[in-house]
Chains A and B, each alone.
Chain A
Amino acid sequence: MSRPRNGGLWQELRVPAAAVIIGLIIGAVFMAMTGANPLTAYGALLSGCFGKPVNISETLVYINPLIFTGLSIAVAYRAGLFNIGAEGQMIVGMVAAAVVGYAGTGLPRAIHLPLTILSGALAGAIWAAVPGYLKARLGVHEVVNSIMMNYIALYLSHYLVNGPIKDPQVIAPYSREIADSAKLFRFFGGFRSEFRVNTGILIAVAAALLVYYVLYKTTTGYEIRAVGANADAARYAGINVPKAMAVSMLLAGSMAGLAGAVQVCGIQYKFLDLFAFEGFGLDGIAVALVGKINPFGVVGAASLFGILSRGAQMMQGIAHVPKQVAGIVQAAIVFMIAAEGLVEGWLSIPGLSLKKAGKAQKEDA
């Protein structure tokens, strides 16, 4: 954003790091107020996320879609657009992958799996293209449109999974299970392994690299960033501003669509009816902002959010902390990041040296 890029990684990360610590402290205060022991709770959080191999696996399962949705918001934000629609783009990505994953039964894996994954990305891109087109051509604000597209996606998927794509063999509103040829390998054991972490996490990391490459190494990325940083100057320089906006929305939509496809191909193997938004798209906004709209920052922030979400369940299970308190911790951290100036001000108080904050952060992690 407006921060100079040559300040080094620590310069970039010191505020988010301090915000995390402050958020954890605020969370501890809330836990103490509800009668829980913060140390036990944070212990449970850590052991629940990392204590056993299967816990690590589950944590990665939480992190995986957040990387994609975080990237989705980040890439749109670089063009100056706010993609609230990642939620809906992810839903259509799931539906598309569930349909193609089943319909392509019999295809060889080398074709079927990529086809399924890409169908999710394509569906997400199409979903994002609507608000993208309206913004680029007619100047209609993308936020309202992408929120509405979320509802359309939710209820459309609800209709489909209760009708056209419903598995007739079961009573519950599920789609048919996709063919094995469309499933992502789990690292340990077969498709029924309790270690649900799968090659989707590699796709997510590759997506982060791809987004980084596009944004910083290609002319398309240059255009996107120029439009986001100063659309007037971009226009003066002869950059096609609507095109750059549209491209960034397509890229954003395909990232969110990938989140859905990887969720279906790696974890669920079918589309399960949603009764409400799952929240990956909305969490992606926080992930992107905490990650400073930087693809690698997004991977880090997604990890943090994944750990907190997973940890919330564990705190509840082991330390009997209400799950909502973990939500408070999460909210407190985002709050602190948003109040960047506040945290920066605290960091510049003499005696509260940055190095100390850095050490504390390492000990915490």
Chain B
Amino acid sequence: MAQSQRVPVLAMKGITKQFPGVLANDRVDFTLEQGEIHALLGENGAGKSTLMKILYGLYGADSGTISVRGQEALIREPNDALRLGIGMVHQHFMLVQQFTVAENLVLGSEPRRRGIFLDMNAAVAKVKEVSEQYGLAIDPNARITDISVGMQQRVEILKALLRGADILILDEPTAVLTPQEVSELFAIMRNLQARGKSIVFITHKLKEVMAISERVTVVRRGRVVGSLDTSSTSVDELARLMVGRDVELVVEKGPAHPGEEILVVDDLNVLDARRLPAVRGVSLSVRGGEILGIAGVDGNGQTQLVEAITGMRRCASGRVMLAGKDITNSEPRRLFESGVVHIPADRQRHGLILDFSIAENMVLQTYYRPPFSVKGRLNWEVIRSEARRLIEEFDIRTPGEDVPAGSLSGGNQQKVIVARELSRQPELVIAAQPTRGLDVGAIEFVHGRLVEARDAGKAVLLVSLELDEILALADRIAVMYEGEVVGVLSRDEATEELLGLMMAGAARGSDPDASEVATG
């Protein structure tokens, strides 16, 4: 950047923050130039969110200074930050679901008529004006519950802008977005940049850093390990800085050795919660020793397909067979007993009981069987020692097995689920979005385990919204569009372009049966 002579819009120096047992920030320096998009990169728990929460006044630093536009600033609470023009968009949105966009945006500073009446027309007009100014395209009268996550995020961004922010902190904004929404967000960010806003972009996704930022600061274990111009670095270098060792960004895997058909889905139809068809006439098969990836844009029936196979939603018609046995509409417990394991897409809603300890979570499906219980009596010693074994084997970072699952980081929560599911000697592994929200190190781990399961002869059904993940892992790829499988490709035939077209419903793959023969 050529502005090195100018005063940075933001300079944090020597920021240290100690939490009980963790040094979250250790003498961190961070500078943000006027008008740049600066990526703050690090694994989960590296301290990047802590640093930004200090900047936004949510935490107090133990030591260190913050200067805004050359002036030393004391930021004790978010209102101080807002006064200095610093706005933050949190990972978890803070919106009133039942309110409209405009109502949310004016919350706390409602325009009034005659002192007491809420002037909603003024609010709507103001929202329209600002949203058009930044090219955000939001309907001020839509209710939050009715709009997509990507739109809700725009509301949050707009909220910060309306409060006069010109330094914007975006805390992992892409974690909740589909690939299309990510590119829309990037367009918005460039637009904001063109209007002179400076943006801190927190992420752990390397491709995004390369795609959008001018500079990148890498944090590892609370320390800054590098501050680089994005144009002069590479994905590999960033990964090494972030994790502290060389990382296999490409999954090492040999050729598949497909065996018998384990899972056969035949002309399956499933309705969604509103009783509309969500899965329409889907037929698939997964052999032992192969990974079948299901690609598709979110909301094209993948969720309902997985729910139907795993017994969480009834099939309207069609059949599901496991190694020759009919398991259509079986109870989850029977499925687990016959060797189906399921890494669910929503780990906090389905995968874990956050209030339960890790040990309790490890036996969620098996607690009623020996050795974990005998005649209805739980054997805590066995349960806890099994948990300790899995914590060790799967490298789960936790103070112990009695800690509530909810206190772990997202990556470690996912490791608990992966450990529990893969340790149960499955025939069929169903992994739905197994790496959503995880950092590079944890993704590498989960991918390695899935390939290991494949190589041990298990059938693996992988559902992912991340095309990269599908391309990295799958031996065959089925694409879902509007509830149908529009094609099954072998890995060799699949290119990002072709898959993209199929996911958008613009192309059909070769005949599914033919491609199965080709790979079989």
Contact = CB atoms under 8 A, between A and B. Distances in A.
Contact of A219 (B312, B355, B376): B376
Contact of A222 (B310, B312, B344, B367): B367
Given A230-B349, A237-B364, A2 B377 contact: no
Interface in B306-335: 310-312, 331-335
Interface in A219-248: 219-220, 222, 225-226, 229-230, 232-239
A170 interface: no
A225 to B, nearest CB: 8
Interface in A284-326: none
Interface stretch (B80-88, B205-213, B401-409, B451-459): B401-409
A6 interface: yes
A138 B357 CA distance: 31
B350 A219 contact: no
B352 A4 contact: no
Contacts of A238: 311, 331-336, 365
B353 A226 contact: yes
Nearest to B360: A222
B364 A5 contact: no
Contacts of A233: 349-353, 364
B383 to A, nearest CB: 10
A217 interface: yes
A226 B350 CA distance: 11
Nearest to B350: A236
A217 B377 CA distance: 6
Nearest to A218: B376
A236 B312 contact: yes
Nearest to B351: A233
Contacts of A229: 353-356
B404 A4 contact: yes
Contacts, number: 72
A1 interface: yes
Interface residues of A, number: 23
Nearest to A238: B333
A226 B355 CA distance: 9
A240 to B, nearest CB: 8
A218 B377 CA distance: 4
A234 B407 CA distance: 19
B403 A220 contact: no
B351 A236 contact: yes
A11 to B, nearest CB: 13
A238 B421 CA distance: 13
Instruction: Name the residue in A1, A218, A229, A233 with the highest tally of chain B Cβ atoms < 10 Å from its Cβ.
Output: A233
A219 B378 contact: yes
A354 to B, nearest CB: 15
A219 B351 contact: no
A219 B331 contact: no
A219 B378 CA distance: 6
Q: Chain A interface mostly helix, strand, loop or mixed?
A: helix
Contact of B332 (A222, A230, A237): A237
Instruction: Name the residue in A2, A225, A229 with the highest tally of chain B Cβ atoms < 10 Å from its Cβ.
Output: A229
A1 B355 contact: yes
B93 interface: no
Instruction: Name the residue in A232, A235, A238 with the highest tally of chain B Cβ atoms < 10 Å from its Cβ.
Output: A238
Contact of A232 (B335, B349, B357): B349
A80 B161 CA distance: 42
Given A6-B402, A220-B376, A235 B355 contact: no
B373 interface: yes
Nearest to A214: B376
B364 A4 contact: no
Interface residues of B, number: 35
B367 A236 contact: no
Interface in A261-296: none
B365 A237 contact: yes
B342 interface: yes
Interface string A180-220: 00000000000000000000000000000000000011111
Contacts of B365: 237-238
B198 to A, nearest CB: 35
Nearest to B369: A219
A238 B350 CA distance: 11
Nearest to B364: A237
A214 to B, nearest CB: 10
Interface in B176-192: none
A235 B367 contact: no
Nearest to B402: A6
B427 to A, nearest CB: 16
A329 to B, nearest CB: 32
A218 B310 CA distance: 27
Interface string B345-383: 000011111111100100011011000010011101000
A321 B103 CA distance: 51
B368 A219 contact: yes
A6 B357 CA distance: 10
Given A235-B312, A236-B332, A238-B336, A219 B373 contact: yes
A6 B406 CA distance: 13
B21 to A, nearest CB: 14
Contact of A5 (B333, B334, B354, B402): B402
Contacts of A2: 355, 406
A1 B103 CA distance: 34
Instruction: Name the residue in A217, A219, A234 with the highest tally of chain B Cβ atoms < 10 Å from its Cβ.
Output: A219
A227 to B, nearest CB: 10
B404 A217 contact: no
A235 B307 CA distance: 12
Q: Which 9 A-B pairs have the closest CB atoms?
A: A238-B333, A238-B332, A237-B364, A236-B350, A230-B353, A229-B355, A229-B353, A219-B368, A237-B365
23 contacts: A2-B355, A2-B406, A4-B403, A4-B407, A217-B380, A219-B367, A222-B367, A226-B353, A229-B355, A230-B352, A230-B355, A232-B349, A233-B349, A234-B353, A235-B312, A236-B312, A236-B350, A237-B364, A238-B311, A238-B332, A238-B336, A238-B365, A239-B333
Interface of A: 1-2, 4-6, 216-220, 222, 225-226, 229-230, 232-239
Given A1-B355, A2-B406, A4-B403, 19 more contacts: A5-B357, A5-B402, A218-B377, A218-B378, A219-B367, A219-B377, A222-B367, A225-B356, A226-B353, A226-B356, A230-B349, A230-B352, A233-B352, A233-B353, A237-B364, A238-B331, A238-B333, A238-B335, A239-B333
